Amino acid sequence: MAYKINPDVCVACGTCQGECPAGAINEGDVYSIDPNICLDCGTCASVCPTGAIEPGE
Ligand code: SF4
């Protein structure tokens, strides 16, 4: 399981990347989470100012 960033909501502020303890978040036009590295901790979702990050299914 891994968290996911909704590209329609992400504003590429980079807040989540700085908080992820696993370094799972990659920079880009919008940010993305590497599901192979994500620890499913939810830290990113709690800090995202736009609510773009949700738990995976
Ligand atoms: Fe990183 Fe945790 Fe978010 Fe996974 S859930 S991307 S480990 S902050």
From 31, 36, 43, give the residue whose CB has the most ligand 1 atoms within 8 Å, as the site to mutate: 43
Range 52-56 average pLDDT: 96
Fold of 3-55: Alpha-Beta Plaits (3.30.70)
CA of 20 to the centre of ligand 1 (A): 5
pTM value > 0.85: yes
What is the number of the ligand 1 atom nearest to the C-alpha of 19? 8
CA distance 8 to 22: 24
Range 35-50 average pLDDT: 98
CA dihedral over 29, 32, 37, 41, signed as positive or negative: positive
Q: Return mean pLDDT, the chain.
A: 96
Predicted confidence (pLDDT) per residue in 12-28, tens digit: 999 999 999 999 999 98
Is 80 exceeded by the pLDDT of residue 57?
A: no
Predicted confidence band at 30 (pLDDT cuts at 50, 70, 90)? Answer: very high
Residues with CB under 6 A from ligand 1: 3, 20, 22, 24-25, 33, 38-44
